[in-house]
Amino acid sequence: MSGGTPPFDLPTVVIDRIPVELHASTTIGPVSLPIFGFGGAPGFGNDTTAPSSGFFNTGGGGGSGFSNSGSGMSGVLNAISDPLLGSASGFANFGTQLSGILNRGAGISGVYNTGTLGLVTSAFVSGFMNVGQQLSGLLFAGTGP
């Protein structure tokens, strides 16, 4: 079996010239037609006293990142119970003067460290999984030298 389309002719289509004349003049000056816009403040969804960049931050402001709570916070999910205190960066830290990941207290850096002097007094802890004050290194507990 074989098949095909038989031959056929297409009629010629001719489109004549279409004249277009544009004349414009204005006396009212420039016109601005914004479709949508954002406010003059940095960030999106922030509820802070001072300006903050980033997304969904709360507290005193002056920080950046995503869902931080406090003043001067940057990073992701950092928080302090007093919204006017803060100054932390990293991920999921709770307290003040912190940097790193999953730290709790004050004056702490590293990963998963906990200070024993509360959330305002600096414990001077750095390293990995230390609990106490004046510690650095891995898996220490208590008070350092």
- The answer to the question of residue 117 being in a domain is yes
CB 74 within 8 A of CB 80: no
Percent of the chain as helix, strand, coil, to the nearest 5: 0, 40, 60
How far apart CA 45 and CA 56 sit, in angstroms, is 5
The answer to the question of residue 41 being in a domain is no
Query: Is 25 part of a structural domain of the chain?
Result: no
The confidence band for 98, taking pLDDT boundaries of 50, 70 and 90, is very high
Query: What global pTM score does this model have?
Result: 0.68
145 inside domain: no
Give the contacts of 144 (CB within 8 A, at least 6 positions apart).
Answer: 124, 132, 133, 134, 135, 136
Is 144 contained in some domain?
no
What's the Rg (C-alpha) of the chain?
32
> In the chain, how many domains are there?
1
Q: Please compute the mean of the pLDDT values over residues 141-145 and round it to a whole number.
A: 90
The range of the structural domain enclosing residue 65 comes to 47-137
